[in-house]
Amino acid sequence: MTDTNSQGSARTTGAVAAGLATVAGDGTVLDTWFPAPELTSDPGPAGTTRLDRDEAVNRIGEGAAKAIGVDARRGVEVVAVSTVISSLDDKPLDAHDAYLRLHLLSHRLVRPHGQNLDGLFGLLANVAWTSLGPVAVDDLERVRLNARAEGLHLQVTSVDKFPRMTDYVAPKGVRIADADRVRLGAHLAAGTTVMHEGFVNFNAGTLGTSMVEGRISAGVVVGDGSDIGGGASTMGTLSGGGNVRIVIGERCLVGAEAGVGIALGDECVVEAGLYVTAGTRVTLPDGQVVKARELSGASNILFRRNSVTGTVEARPNNAVWGGLNEVLHAHN
Ligand SMILES: CC(C)(COP(=O)(O)OP(=O)(O)OC[C@H]1O[C@@H](n2cnc3c(N)ncnc32)[C@H](O)[C@@H]1OP(=O)(O)O)[C@@H](O)C(=O)NCCC(=O)NCCSC(=O)CCC(=O)O
Ligand SMILES: O=C(O)C1=N[C@H](C(=O)O)CCC1
Ligand SMILES: [Mg+2]
């Protein structure tokens, strides 16, 4: 089931959304939640403006009237905003704009790599994500005491630049066994199941039905019908020197504890426990040895480490792994 909502080449489009932003005492924007972002070809000038109470109710709903205002316990003010992105090709302007782009991904309005995210990390504050909502890291101990004073136990689920996706967007047709494992900005197509060991970073995710028991790193895209086995790794490009953008094609199986540092075409299998890096020397059926990067994007290959010789081999993929177990995806 390939997701049809996503617009892979939305680069000339803009976006508009009304949302609720949390602003710390020093003016830092901690987050912005946009419940119903929209793409538009006629967005108007880029930027964020504050909405008054009536405008907020009109654009966001009745509850917005109560949601906005000062929250003394957390030392923040919640404000209603309207954010416009003139062109998704332009880099993000500020934190509101950055949050809107993350929402566009998780709402499946834009596919990974379908918009400019240059400078994103620099625009996002490092935030304490708590059971009472976002808190400025420097205010955390004071807020903890404020909570205790009211008999509340403040839970801090993470201190990070990205919140978990499901606190902002819960896309339909998706199961996520452990919500902490999926960051806002993940793109999960209907039919995707993310098990506890799975992980999905921002600007990454699935395009169709998939079982995700391994890690989908920032920028990695997994095609329809593919399975990322338990603890499997897809090599990232943000840190550690990886520079190949990983794409997993359709109906692939990346075995448990395996890893991929090259793109896979369709119908490929990587044996459990085998990490295929771009430089791995791979023996082909005719005895020729090539670097795995030369096979990047090729279809119908089974990669395995010969358990007798230790040689990594690429063979025609005759391993009929049977495809996804439909029962695990049909009723998401
Ligand atoms: C690589 C494959 C796909 C191979 O499977 P096949 O069905 O093609 O092979 P097979 O039937 O086992 O074997 C076919 C022939 O090849 C031989 N053969 C197989 N692997 C070999 C190897 N590495 N080296 C040398 N020979 C090998 C067999 O002995 C057999 O020989 P003869 O023909 O002479 O008899 C598999 O081993 C594998 O790794 N599957 C991944 C499964 C997986 O990890 N799924 C994700 C689950 S996720 C999960 O489990 C979650 C749990 C967790 O969290 O960890
Ligand atoms: O989708 C599920 O639920 C899965 N359950 C299996 C399990 O619990 O072991 C693993 C695969 C997916
Ligand atoms: Mg077999």
| 292 marked as binding residue | no
If we measure between CA atoms, which residue out of 127, 109, 113 comes closest to residue 169? 109
- Sign, Cα dihedral of 319, 320, 322, 323: positive
For residue 282, the model assigns a pLDDT of 98
Least confident of 80-94, 235-249, 304-318: 235-249
- Residue 289 and residue 172 in contact, taking contact as beta carbons nearer than 8 Å: no
Active site residue 213: yes
C-alpha 73/C-alpha 186 separation (Å) is 31
The chain-wide mean pLDDT, for the chain, equals 94
CB proximity list for 182: less than 8 A, separation 6 or greater: 164, 165, 166, 176, 188, 194, 199, 200
Instruction: Please check the confidence at residue 27 and state whether its pLDDT lies above 80.
Output: yes
Given the residues 38, 213, 250, 326, the one annotated as active site: 213
Three-class SS of residue 211? strand
Taking the C-alpha atoms of residue 101 and residue 313, their distance in angstroms, rounded to an integer, is 41
Q: Could you report the per-residue pLDDT of 175-214, keeping only the tens digit for each?
A: 999 999 999 999 999 999 999 999 999 999 999 999 999 9
When pLDDT is cut at 50, 70 and 90, the band that residue 12 belongs to is: low
Q: What is the pTM of this model?
A: 0.94
- Encoded tokens for 2: 């390939």
pLDDT value for 6: 47
Tokens of 318: 């005759």
Residue 193 CB–ligand 2 contact under 6 Å = yes
Strand locations in 112-220 (E):
127-130, 133-136, 156-160, 175-176, 186-187, 192-194, 199-200, 204-206, 210-212, 215-216
Tokens describing residue 23: 């602003």
Ligand 2 in reach of 328 Cβ (< 6 A) = yes
Give the number of the ligand closest to the Cα of residue 317. 1
Secondary structure of residue 59 in the 3-state scheme? helix
Instruction: Give the pLDDT confidence score for residue 332 in this predicted structure.
Output: 79
pLDDT at 197: 97
Give the chain's end-to-end CA distance (angstroms, integer).
12
On whether 306 is known to bind a ligand per the annotation, the reply is yes
Residue 307 assigned as binding residue? yes
Mean pLDDT of 95-105: 98
Let me know how long the chain is.
332
Q: What is the complex's ipTM, to 2 decimals?
A: 0.94
Q: What is the CA radius of gyration of the chain?
A: 22
* CA 88 to ligand 2 centroid distance, Å: 37
Q: Which ligand is nearest to the CA of 256?
A: 1
Angle at 190 between CA 186 and CA 196, to 5 degrees: 60
Percent above pLDDT 90 for the chain = 89
Q: What is the mean pLDDT of residues 121-140?
A: 98
Ligand 2 neighbourhood includes 319 CB (under 6 angstroms) = no
Which tokens is 64 given? 């917005």
Instruction: Look at 5-19, 80-94, 138-152 and tell me which has the smallest mean pLDDT.
Output: 5-19
Ligand 1 atom index nearest CA of 304: 23
The arithmetic mean of pLDDT across residues 43-53, rounded, is: 97
Q: State the Cα–Cα distance between residues 170 and 51, nearest whole angstrom.
A: 25
Instruction: Please give the pLDDT value at position 11.
Output: 47
Q: From the CB of 195, is ligand 2 less than 6 Å away? A: yes
Does the annotation flag 175 for ligand binding?
A: no
